[in-house]
Chain A
Amino acid sequence: MRLVPQGTRDRRLLLELTPMVDVVFLLIIFFMVTSEFARDARAEMELPLLPGEQMQQSEEVGLSINIDASGNILLSAAEEPLNLDELKRRVELYVDGEETPRITIRADRSGPMGVFNSVVRVLDESGVSSARIATEIPR
């Protein structure tokens, strides 16, 4: 902060705002860069608390199938729940355009396995032989 020398006639206190503006812009850039807009595919849920395979895996998201605690199937947080027929259609559409389809099932840990099993059957019928199951790494 720089104050104008008192010898001058203009005795107003002048704040040097440049460093503050610099810092604020840097903060904005930080939040813009770290905001995860692409994570829309992840619906909010409590995943199984497991360490997973702890292997370096491709970050390519592919198709995320979310199953919430009530058994609703969602392909993204913004979409309406799908029924199994619609899910099958969407999976087949995705698999057709992919050489190595990457499908991740994100299922709420407290939900029953019934819907999960139905999703597995849909994937198997659509020719998908493996799926990644998302877990939340325990802290």
Chain B
Amino acid sequence: MKFNTRKSGGGNRLVMNMTSLIDVTFLLLIYFMVSMVIAKPEDRLNPTIRTQDASASGSEADFQPQIVEVILVSNVPTYRLGQHDLATAEMLLEKLRDLPTDLGVFIRGGDGVPVGFAMAAIQAARDAGFDQVTYVPIE
């Protein structure tokens, strides 16, 4: 930083050269503006997770299990609930609303289904009022 002492009207005035400070400040400002990441708003689904073996162990909680399978039927992702093959999460939600929620529901996802499609089944179960949602991978 450079200080100039300049005579003005008989008195000494201290003049501070701010140019370099402002340069650095603007560079910092530009750096933070460019490097800032605007984060997308996120939320969570919080299912219990189990494997196929655990869900088949026949515990008390598995009594009369309600199962939604998310599978490929003729290469098309489909929700299977009992006898019903459902094409969309909205149709699944409608069917799930008719089921008793105190028994919980198992969501079983097949390997070839897109993640977003399978997660929509967990969301539908939560929206239908199921507190106990368990995700089980299909072997």
Chain A residues packing against B (C-beta within 8 Å): 10, 17, 21, 24-25, 27-28, 31-32, 34-36, 39, 42, 47-54, 57, 67, 104, 107-114, 116-118, 120-121, 123-125, 128-137
Contacts and interface: CB of A to CB of B under 8 A. Distances in A.
Given A53-B43, A108-B115, A36 B137 contact: no
B115 A132 contact: no
Contact of A17 (B22, B35, B39, B119): B22
28 contacts: A25-B25, A28-B25, A28-B32, A34-B36, A35-B36, A35-B37, A36-B39, A39-B37, A50-B119, A52-B44, A53-B43, A53-B46, A109-B114, A109-B116, A110-B116, A113-B111, A114-B112, A116-B115, A116-B118, A117-B138, A120-B135, A125-B51, A129-B48, A129-B50, A131-B47, A135-B44, A135-B123, A137-B40
B115 A110 contact: yes
A53 B54 CA distance: 25
B133 to A, nearest CB: 10
Contact of A35 (B25, B35, B41, B49): B35
A120 B137 contact: yes
A107 B118 CA distance: 11
B118 A130 contact: no
B36 A121 contact: no
| Main SS class of interface, B | mixed
A94 to B, nearest CB: 16
Interface residues of B, number: 45
B126 interface: yes
A53 B46 CA distance: 8
A28 B119 contact: no
4 tightest A-B contacts by CB?
A52-B43, A109-B116, A31-B32, A117-B137
A135 B113 CA distance: 17
Contacts of B111: 112-114, 117
B59 interface: no
A25 B25 CA distance: 7
A102 to B, nearest CB: 10
Interface in B110-139: 110-116, 118-120, 122-123, 126, 135, 137-138
Contacts of A117: 109, 111, 137-138
Nearest to A139: B41
